[in-house]
Structure 1
Amino acid sequence: MSHSNVTDFTNPSTIILLGIPGLEAAYVWLSIPFCIMYAIVLLGNFFILFMVKIESSLHEPMYYFLCMLAITDLVLSSSTLPKMLSIFWFSSRDISFSACLAQLFFVHCFAVMESGIFLAMAFDRYVAICHPLRHCTILTSTVVSKIGLAVLLRGSMIVLPYPFLVRRWHYCRTNILPHTHCEHIYMVKLACGDTSISSYYGLFVLFCGKSLDMFFIAISYFQILRAIFRLPTKEARLKTLGTCSSHLCAILAFYIPSFFSSFTQRFGQNLPLHFHVLIANMYLLVPPMLNPIIYGVRSKQIQDRLLQLFIHANRI
């Protein structure tokens, strides 16, 4: 290719987000389920935060971690949905390069943080079931705060190289991104030259940010199951296992779409582009939507408090 036919987009001032290529005619209809899911995300997670704040019986490590999860879900979904809807409704596809890098950072950082919070919640369940008499002394408020800080720092430090790597590449092909938001792997595909360092680092983040968490979660639940099967009666085993059911459901809702999205991006070249984009958006929306529903349905304390609020409102 001659030099005259190459446009230099090194550090372009704007990135053009195409949305979901191939489904432009259905944008209005697609916006409806996405709006509904986002509304559930906002209402559900703010409800969890409100309930934990006003109900003193929920001032426990598990619910503190649940609050961290709710905040993470709110940031994760809010970093992508408003821009996606502006593309669907107003064809507002431009995003500044700096805003694109910020969006990329928040999406990946809070995804890693969410994985870390699930690991912390697994540790809480392990201590509660395997060492019940020491639960309050091991997971004090100070320890919970330190775990939350560690999760935040780990997510930030692991993902921090992403925007710096993306900024240093030359964009000589185009500044058009076939996606609804700025995703690291898609930004790498726009760049020219040898970008293998970014690809390898993306795999490193996937391994250190999620795969290791899954490994330690599996170890925690192996120990939990050993403790459960040692209980004397079937009723006791089922009751104890029930305390973990909401956490297990939330883990599956997060990790299955996450890894499916990651592997289809890297190895699903024959799949339609709109399928990749839809899966990436489902991964960022479905877990934040399901988490408050799962914990609200499975937590008797939250159900009881919600029932009290409804009874009180009806009396007024």
Structure 2
Amino acid sequence: MNQSTTSSAPDDSLSAATEQVRRAAQDKAKRPSIAGFFDEATNTVTYVVHDPASGEAAIIDSVLDYDAAAGRTSHGSAELIVEYVKANDLTVTWLIETHAHADHISAAPYLQEKLGGKLSIGREIIRVQDVFGKLFNAGTDFERDGSQFDHLFTDGETFKLGEIEGIALHVPGHTPADYAFIIGDAAFVGDTIFMPDFGTARADFPGGDARQLYQSIQRLLSLPGETRLFLCHDYKAPGRDEYAWETTVRQQREENVHVKQGTSEDEFVAMRTKRDSTLSMPELIMPSVQVNIRGGHLPEPEENGVSYIKIPVNTL
């Protein structure tokens, strides 16, 4: 994948993303093929996105299977991705994380070993590493500069997947480091927003901010109505029996139960703050964040050759 490292002011970035989506909507060759792989254990969707013409592919938000009770990892979910990539003769050039997830561990290092590609995340991961590095008392050996990743995206940075255009947009609020990746006419929005009948992401993790989240969502909803949105999670809203993870900007504007058109910033912040106060921490937050701020690598083994996950007590 060829890329430039140009960065623009936020309004310019949104304008560029809007024009990209419009071009892709008019030309099928500028739209990617997308396969979603749903992991019911963590309610996470991993995407393989590729340019049909060249076969260049990106893997977005992969999942490493983790048995918390046994402290054991496995690769069943990741192997489904490997099999799909090989069966379709794709070339992986990017392994993208929309943010440092708190509900599942990334399988990016395993997939990189099997398939190649550059491991990437937004540059604000540095802030998350600093906050959680202190929380987990990671020590001076843990670098807080994003060096565990091959590439740190900046807001408005453009790239290509084969001949399909892409752009990265910074959408903080859920965490400081959340990014949406718009590839052709498809936007991969991480945890920022969910299906319209389920609403929006929480904003109470360290560094989260409900007001920022509202502003980030408005940024995404300023994209053309036909923009396809691909979500990182689904939890089956009440009354819905099937999992779903694809929607559109237009549908979100009209139907999202938390942030549809007409919802003010203050209304959203009040709702989000009240709702977040009732939520328990994700079951896998301790292992997930601890590993994901390291780019999906386990903590360095101790003198006995074993890696350990720390559980800080009475901190979150």
Specify if TM > 0.5. no
Q: Which has the higher strand share?
A: 2
Structure number, greater radius of gyration: 1
The TM-score with structure 1 as length reference comes to 0.26
The TM-score with structure 2 as length reference comes to 0.26
| Higher-RCO chain (CA-CA 8 Å, sequence separation at least 6) | 1
